[in-house]
Structure formats: structure tokens, C-alpha cells
Structure 1
Amino acid sequence: MTHISRRMNLVRKYKSIQKKLIPMKDKIGYGSGNFSTGVINQVVGTYLVFYCTAILGIPGSLIGTALSLSIIWDAITDPFMGYFSDITKSKRFGRRHQYILIGSIGMALANFFLWNIDPDIPMGYKFASIVALILLIKTFSTVYVTPYTALGAELSKDYDERTEIQSVKTVFFLLGLAFVSVFGMYVFFKPSPQFPSGQLNPISYKAMGGISSLIIIAFAMFCYFTTKKYIPVLKENIQTDSLKLSIKELFVEFRRIFLNADFRAVSFSYMFNNIASALIANMGLHVFTYTFFLTSQQIAIVVGVQFAVSIFAQPVWYKISEKFDKKPSMMFGILISIASCLLFAFLVSIREEARGSALYFIPFAMLAGFGTSGLYTIPLSMMADVIDLDELNTGKRSEGSYYGFLTMFYKLSQSITLFAIGWILDLVRFDPDLDFQLESTVVIIGLVIGVGSAISFVASLISIKGYGLDKSTVKEIQKAAAIGGGRSDIRKS
């Protein structure tokens, strides 16, 4: 009788967990922290290569190599940070919140100094300063982003609410990207008589660095104080064993996670999606400026449309995912993204007609904005479900480790892409001193975005086909874990 009563209590506990939904104001509070992530990612991702090559005069191959190495450093530290966050046992801050404070302040300070490098100092000093500051930004980004992302997976066990939390988080991420790209182009990079293309004005980058650093801190603090009240509840997930941070334990953790087939499907798909996005983000300014002769204002319009569609499409993707489930929805988003890349390649082929007109790029921006909107949100929601399966098999929740390894794949792909972009710019003989590049140069860099991104999205589509969880399966996994069912054959990893 006692055993039956205990099982009934566990079932009631499981049902009560399913009904605990997070208030929208708290979802917004948590999501606001991703505005800081969007700002730092876009400032570095969109402007740094251009700033270093066109403003500081550093060769593209050097910058590509430096950025690639910094992101490799960033990537390999993510699993360490995730694992370290998982085994943190702070009574005051729980497992995540102290890192939100430390990471955001460090990112902001390094970002401020990055955009205040004197173009007239010797090349060696300029390059050394770039390398040091980028390494600092990447290190503090890891300290901030990995625990922050893991926190989102802890806030809810509801299958659909997880997607909603990620949707709100994605909206703030996209707003952060849009703020830098659209607001930055309109405000910081205004054309002037001396600089008709505002993005060539060195002073603009200093203003952007100061404002963006203040914003990074402000939104991170809002996230911290909004979600602080959940620390007592989340303490239940703190591991009570005596695990310590070590290389051996990390590799044991990595092996366990990598052997999870669903993790591999999501992480590889996410990685290939990022390669496509990184090509557009890091080479887009070169292509719009030199292939299509768009002004900073016109670039802002195109990018603004893309981000606006991505933001307003978030509720649509939430409903699509709710109705058709996560995997089919993600595949649909990838197919739309492939179509947008092929449209961009077509625009390169008619570049003579498209030059100087933003209107030609509006259909591309709308298609790309809608397709990639779901790809920002759904994979992170799927990863929370993968962690449920792992909890059933191991008896512990390892959000930090899983998202740390996911971010590692994401950043390694970014590193490879930036390395390739730097060398491509040199190989196609891009010359920052020329107002008009060679025709072969502008065609190749345009096709790298169109065709290269399409190929990467195809690889993403192939990867996600291996994912095997759905809504009913995840509910069974959560129920089995809640009532102490132990390892199950519901879905073997």
C-alpha cells in the first residue's frame, strides 16, 4: 500500500510539473538577456572583418585566421563552461546566475576597447590588439551565453512552452541583431560629404562600441533580476555528488552526449545552419557594398526587412511547431531558406540590373527572414527534449553540458567559415583601397553567399532527418523520469 501511495504521489507530482507554466512577463525577462547576445554577435560578426580590412588596413587572411583561432578557443571552452555550470553549487546564485553577471560585464568592457583602436598605430600593434580583445570577448561570451542558454531549458518541462520560451528568446536575439544592423547603419554610419558610404567613417565605430557596450550590460542585468526569483526552485537540479571539473570527467561527459543520436542530429543541423548564416553575416557587407553598390541606408532597409519578418514570424513558427511538431517544422524552415539562397544567387547573375536598388532584395529578405526564423528557435527547444531523455537514462540533468557542446559545434563551424572568408577575400584579390573591385571578385563573393549557403542548408536538412523524438515520446519520457522509471526503451540514444 505504501509503495502504491508513493507511486501515486510521483504521478501527481509529474502532472503538477506539466501544469506549471511560466508567466509571459518572466519569459520576456529571460528572453531579454538574449538581446545582449544578439548585439555582441552582430557587432563582431557584421562589422569586424570590414572594420579590420577597410578601416584598419589589416589583410583579410590575417583577420580570418585570427577570428578563426579565437572562435576555436571560444568553442573548446564552451563544454568546460557548461560542465562547470552544471556542477556549481552556489546557495545564493544557483548554477547559472553568477555567470550572467560576470560574462556580461566582461563582454561589454572588451567590446568597448575593440572599436577604439587607433588606425595609425603600427600594424603589429593593431593586429595584437585585435587578437587580445577578440579572445577576451569570446571568453566572456562563453561565461555568459552557455549558462544563460542552459537556464532557458530549466525553466519549463512543458513540451510546447519550451518552444514558446525559445521564441521569446529568439525575438530578443533578432532585435539585438537588428539594432546593430539597422539602427547602426542609419545612426552610426550616416553618409557625409567626406564619407558618402558611412561604413567607411572610422569615427562611427567608436560611437557604436560605446553604445553597444552599455546596452549589453543593461539587458543582461534586466534578465538577471527578472529570473533571480527562480533560483530556489532551480536548486533542485543541483547535482549532489562530488563531481569536479577535470579533463577526464569532461571527456566522459562528451562521449556520453555525443553517443546520443538525437543530440547529433540537432547539433549537426544547427551547425550547418550557422555556416550558412555566417557566410551571409560576415561577407554580406562586402557583397552589398561592392557587388551591388548599395548605400548604408539601402543595406539597412534590406537587413531591416529580413529581421522584421524573422521577428514577426516567431509566433507563426510556434503555432506551426505546435500543430505539426518540431522536426517537420524545422525541415520546412530549411527548405524555405534554401529557396532564399538560390534567389540570391539569381540576383548575382542579374547584378547589372540590381545594382543600386534595394527593391530587388526585398523578396530575398522576406523569404530568408521567414525561413531562418524557425531555425533560430526550434533546435534549442528540441535540445531540451533530448536532455529529458538523458535524464531518464542517467538520473541527472545536464543542461549546461548539452548546450555547451551544442555551442561548441556552432562556434567551430563559425570559425571554419570566418577562416574561409578571410582567405577567399585575399584569393579573389579584394583590395580595400579600391572603390570598384574586379568583376570576377564581386561575382565570386556574391556566389559564395548564394550557392555556398544553399549547400550548407542542404547538409542541415540531411542531418535533422536522424532526429527521433516527438511530442508523445517526450511526454512518456518525462512521466517515466518523474515516477522513477529508470532507463527505458522509449527512445534509446
Structure 2
Amino acid sequence: MKSELNDRVPLRQLIVFGAGGLIPIALFNIAGQLIGLIGNISLGLSAFWLGVILIIPRVWDAVSDPIVGHLSDNTRTRWGRRRPYVLVGGISVALSFVMMWWVPKHESVISWFPSEGAFQWFQLSYILVSVLIFFSACTVFEIPHGALGMEITPNSHERTRLFSAKSFFGNLFAMATPWLFALAGMEIFKGPGGSEADGMRYVSILIAIFLIPASIWWFLDLKEPENVEIKTVSNEKRSSFWADMKYIVQNKNFIYLVVTVFTLAMGFNFVSLLNYYISIFYIYGGDKAAAGPLLGINGTIWAITGLLAVFPLNWLSPKMGKRNTLILSIALMVLAQVAKIFCYSKEYPYLMVIPTILLSAGMLFFFTLSTSMLADICDEDDLRSGKRAEGSYYSVYWWFIKMGSAFASLVTGLLIIFTQFDEAQVTRVDDLRGSVNEIRAELGKAEPSKPLQEFLVKAEQKAEALKQHLATEFQGGESSSTHRELLLQNVDNIQNELKNLNAMQRIERIPPSVDVSLAQLTQQTPQSLFMMRLIEISLPIILSLISLLFALKYPLTNQRCEEIQEALKKRNAGLPQPSH
């Protein structure tokens, strides 16, 4: 069905609404993935406890989403129902995003605590509080913003176009986000002895400087709808929160859609972080600097595919129908997972772009259509009850998705532990490398700030701490004894070189063998890496197939959606309606 002229979304509104995809698509995913990755491999925090504490903001998010949706449905201001939340939420997201990365780690703070374990609990608590604030700010922005997108036009396919614009611009911003890990690892951001955790502090400030003016722009330029259906909202009686929630979860079509999305989202959320680990520790043997460009390029290709995929989506959806196009998207994602069997290659690392293209297109189709299909459910509900409750429907929809994400945070941590990944090895190697880089930096100065022997002693202490871990706390198991012996041999090589340097009267450079041994020390056990690949590939396939079964039962076909729209137009025009 072609869009009527008065239902067509103007280009300016398409752009300004679409640009809001920066927060739910780009920033939300950064927080969900990088905070766990950097907390684990840069701060040395337990993957399990990171997973546990990241559940709490997700659970809170699931509670706050329906509250914000209900409040925005029942808000009446001179600026509309949704726009005030967009302004306040956007600015809050900017400020809390910066706060999230300033995890205390200075030695002066460490001295406050009786043990390293107590200090790590303090860091975990800081991450918990800051992520809670960030996710709450995202909710205040995204729920009213998404509800507004369902209201702007009454036309089903125009809504797909509108949410495609949100996906388009969200992925446009997301093109930069995969490079954040690489940027955070650059010396200009992290300093000579710092880690990615230090670098992300300053990268986050740059993002906030962009986001605050963008929030003001969204508030000023977004227009609340003026069609007849939404005008009646101002005359609606305000409803109670619990009555709205009970009413929405009794909608069978809504439940079919939610279970379809929830199941598939869980499958990929469980393993989304493992792709970083596989890239860094399997393909590049633990060399984070070498893996950075691949992660960045792969992420950029993901984003470009997402940008381009909106065009075939808007062509396919009217022809095939939303449900059939959704089924096609699931097939693309399953194919992507199968392709990873051959494309995770040490010899040809950039083969990763093949499953990336398939997965990005499939996910763009899937999540854009599911939101557009939610608007169709709101239309059907309006026809039956005469009530517009986009905010409540959108928030309950995200309640289920975020509960799945909360559960996924725990499962991800458990999966990483199950694979016997050794984050303590990674952080101790980083500490040792940082000390070696400090020596190298001092050698380049005309007037060193301290005697080089002080830096050498510090590096020797770091090497000994790593050796003790590998000798007494290594988690690889009996079958990994050969791997452990190789690591210990490399530590011995570094210790010998450091002792030789300390005995010299004049030090001119760090021997190349030190860097070679450091590179060897980043490698994880073969068993751990195999388990990561097996889980990362197979788990999403299983849950995608379950999701497909529910998608096949979803009853709102293209024909039924057109009938609903025609009936709504007749009702609002005061014309007699056919009986069903």
C-alpha cells in the first residue's frame, strides 16, 4: 500500500529523528560491551563479577523502562509528551557516559584499602553505580523517543522507513565506535604507561562534547504528531501504571513478537563480547595493538552494512510483508554464524568481514522491523480499545529485551570463566609491558625524571609477580602444562634481560628479545580459545532457530495491517466500519 501524501514523513523529521539512534544503537552497545572487556583485560577485574554487577543496571533498566513509558504517555506539557524527556535524557547520557570511564585506579586511592581484593571490590562498586546512572539516562531518552517514532505517522510502511532512518544514523555514528578501543589504546590518550582504561577517559569526553548540543537539537526540531488519533490523547483520562502493564501483557500478538525478539537477542547477547576475545587472543595471539585495526575495520564494515541495508529493507518489506522479511533476517544471521567456522582464520584474519556483513544486514532487518511491527500492534489495540499507549507498549517491549540483556551479562561472565580465560595473566603482562615502555620513554629523554635503575627494579617486580601467577595460580589445567612452561620460559628471558640492563653502566636501548617475549606472554591456552569459538558460533544458531518458530506464528500479516489502518481512518473520520 502506497503512503498517502499527508502520511509521508518529511525529510527533515526523518533526519532529526534518525539521528537519535546514536544513543540506543551506538552508546548503549559501547557501555554493554567495552565496560566488561576493559574492566576484565585492562583493570584485571573478574569476568564473573563484572557479569554479576552488570545484571543489576539491566534489571533496574527493565523496571525503569515501563515507569518512564507510563510517565511519558501521561505527560502533558507545552512542549508535548515526549520532547522534554528527550532533552533531559540526552544531556544526562552525555554526562554519565564520561563518569562511567573514570574508574579510580591511582596508587593514592589504592593505598586506602587493606588489600588488592578490597580495592577491586571498590572498583566494581564504582562501575555498578556509574552504569546504573548511565542506563537510567538512556531510558529517559530512548523510551519517549521510540514512542514518538511510532506516533509520527499512522502509515505502517512509513514507520518502517522512520525506524530505518534511526538504524541508518545509529549505524552511521556506530562506524566510529569500533575504533574507540583502538583510540583508547593510543599513547596520546592512555599515556606511555597506561592502558585502554586510561584512554577511554579522554575519548568519552570527546563524545560528550558532541552529544550535548545534539540533545538540544533533537528537542528543538522534533515535532510531536498532529494527526487526529494523537490529538485525542490530550482528552484521554490518565490511567494507572499497573492497569496499563496488566493490559499490555495480555495482548497475544504482542507476546508473540516479544518472545521472537527476546529469544534471538539472548542468543547474540550471550556471546557478543566473545568476538573481541576471539579477535584479540585467537587470531592475534593476545596482541591488542595488532587486533585494534581489525576490530575497527570490522566494526566499520558492520556499520556501513547497516547503513546500506536500510535500502533493501524498505524495498523488501512492502513486497514480502514484515513477517516474511523478519524470517529472512533470521536466516541471514544463522548463515553468518555458520560462516564463522571458516572465517575465524589466523592466516586470513580479514575473512571476518564475511560473517560481519551477513550478521549486520540480518540484525538491521530484524530489529528495525520488530519496532515497526510493534507500532502495528498499537494500531490493532487502538482499533479494539480506542486507546493510544505507544509509550507503555514500547517500554514493556524493551523491558523484556533488557531483562534478556541482564541475564546475558551473567551468562557472558560465566561463559568466559567456563572457557578458563586467564584475565590475571593479561593484566600482569600489561603491567610488565607498561614498565618496559616507561623505561623506553625515559631512554628517549635528554634528562630522565628518575634514575633508570628505579624503573628497572619496578619492571623486575612486575615480571616476578607474573611468574608467581603462572607458577602457582595458572588455570589452564594439566593438558596446558606445555603452554605454561613456554610462558614461564619467556618470563625468565625477560628477567635475565632486565638484570643485564641493571648491571650496565650505560643503557642505550631495550633489547628486541624483550618485546618478542612479551608478545609470547599474551597467548591464552588452545583449549580456552577453542571453547570460545565453539560457544560463540553455536549458541546463537540454536536460539535463532527457536526464535524462527515463534516468528512463523505471528498473525499480523501485511493484509491484516492494511485492514486495520483503513478501519482506523474510517473510525476517526466518523464513517461506518465493517464488522469483523
Give TM class, smaller chain: 0.7 to 0.9
**Given that residues 36 and 215 in structure 1 are in contact (C-alpha distance below 8 angstroms), is that contact kept between their aligned partners in structure 2?**
no
Alpha-carbon distance between aligned partners in 1 of 2:314 and 2:195, rounded to the nearest angstrom: 40
Deviates more, 1:274-283 or 1:365-374: 274-283
State the partner residue of 2:19.
32
**Given that residues 94 and 231 in structure 1 are in contact (C-alpha distance below 8 angstroms), is that contact kept between their aligned partners in structure 2?**
no
Residue type of the alignment partner of 1:116: W
1:390-429 correspondence runs (5 A): 390-429=381-420
**Given that residues 176 and 300 in structure 2 are in contact (C-alpha distance below 8 angstroms), is that contact kept between their aligned partners in structure 1?**
no
**CA positional deviation for 1:95:** 1.0
Alpha-carbon distance between aligned partners in 1 of 2:279 and 2:317, rounded to the nearest angstrom: 34
State the partner residue of 2:555.
468
**Given that residues 82 and 401 in structure 1 are in contact (C-alpha distance below 8 angstroms), is that contact kept between their aligned partners in structure 2?**
yes
Alpha-carbon distance between aligned partners in 2 of 1:336 and 1:403, rounded to the nearest angstrom: 26
Equivalent residues, number: 463
1:435-474 correspondence runs (5 A): 435-474=522-561
Alpha-carbon distance between aligned partners in 2 of 1:451 and 1:95, rounded to the nearest angstrom: 44
Q: Deviations over 1:89-133 (max 9, x none)?
A: 12x121101111111111211111111112244223211111111
Matched, 1:302 2:298: yes
1:51-70 correspondence runs (5 A): 51-70=38-57
Pairing partner for 2:235 from 227, 235, 240 = 240
1:267-282 correspondence runs (5 A): 267-282=258-273
Pairing partner for 1:45 from 8, 26, 32 = 32
Secondary structure at 2:556 match in 1: coil
Alpha-carbon distance between aligned partners in 1 of 2:161 and 2:50, rounded to the nearest angstrom: 38
**CA positional deviation for 1:241:** 4.0
Matched, 1:93 2:79: yes
Alpha-carbon distance between aligned partners in 2 of 1:199 and 1:267, rounded to the nearest angstrom: 43
Alpha-carbon distance between aligned partners in 2 of 1:147 and 1:207, rounded to the nearest angstrom: 30
Q: Deviations over 1:228-260 (max 9, x none)?
A: 46579886152534425xxxx333322322222
Alpha-carbon distance between aligned partners in 1 of 2:342 and 2:50, rounded to the nearest angstrom: 30
1:105-124 correspondence runs (5 A): 105-120=91-106, 121=110, 122-124=119-121
Secondary structure at 1:397 match in 2: coil
State the partner residue of 1:368.
359
Deviates more, 1:120-129 or 1:105-114: 120-129
1:50-449 correspondence runs (5 A): 50-90=37-77, 92-120=78-106, 121=110, 122-182=119-179, 184-190=180-186, 200-228=195-223, 230=225, 236-244=231-239, 249-293=240-284, 295-347=291-343, 354-355=345-346, 357-432=348-423, 433-434=425-426, 435-449=522-536
Identity across the alignment (%) = 21
Residue type of the alignment partner of 1:318: N
Residue type of the alignment partner of 2:387: K
Aligned residues: CA RMSD:
2.7
Q: Which one has the largest radius of gyration?
A: 2
**CA positional deviation for 1:486:** 9.9
Q: Deviations over 1:374-421 (max 9, x none)?
A: 112111111111100000111111100110011111111111111101
> CA separation of 1:100/1:430 partners in 2, compared to 1, >3 Å: closer, same or farther?
same
Normalised to the residue count of structure 2, the TM-score between the two structures is: 0.75
Structure number with the bigger relative contact order (C-alpha 8 A, sep ≥ 6) is 1
Alpha-carbon distance between aligned partners in 2 of 1:326 and 1:112, rounded to the nearest angstrom: 39
Deviates more, 1:421-430 or 1:379-388: 421-430
Alpha-carbon distance between aligned partners in 2 of 1:274 and 1:474, rounded to the nearest angstrom: 25
> CA separation of 1:179/1:376 partners in 2, compared to 1, >3 Å: closer, same or farther?
farther
Gapped regions of structure 1 (runs ≥ 5): 1-14, 349-353
Normalised to the residue count of structure 1, the TM-score between the two structures is: 0.87
Residue type of the alignment partner of 2:252: A
Residue type of the alignment partner of 2:217: F
**Given that residues 41 and 177 in structure 1 are in contact (C-alpha distance below 8 angstroms), is that contact kept between their aligned partners in structure 2?**
no
**Given that residues 38 and 196 in structure 2 are in contact (C-alpha distance below 8 angstroms), is that contact kept between their aligned partners in structure 1?**
no
> CA separation of 1:473/1:231 partners in 2, compared to 1, >3 Å: closer, same or farther?
closer
Residue type of the alignment partner of 2:36: V
Alpha-carbon distance between aligned partners in 2 of 1:45 and 1:281, rounded to the nearest angstrom: 10
> CA separation of 1:191/1:280 partners in 2, compared to 1, >3 Å: closer, same or farther?
farther
Residue type of the alignment partner of 1:310: G
> CA separation of 1:277/1:211 partners in 2, compared to 1, >3 Å: closer, same or farther?
farther
> CA separation of 1:256/1:371 partners in 2, compared to 1, >3 Å: closer, same or farther?
same
**Given that residues 283 and 449 in structure 1 are in contact (C-alpha distance below 8 angstroms), is that contact kept between their aligned partners in structure 2?**
yes
**CA positional deviation for 1:52:** 1.0
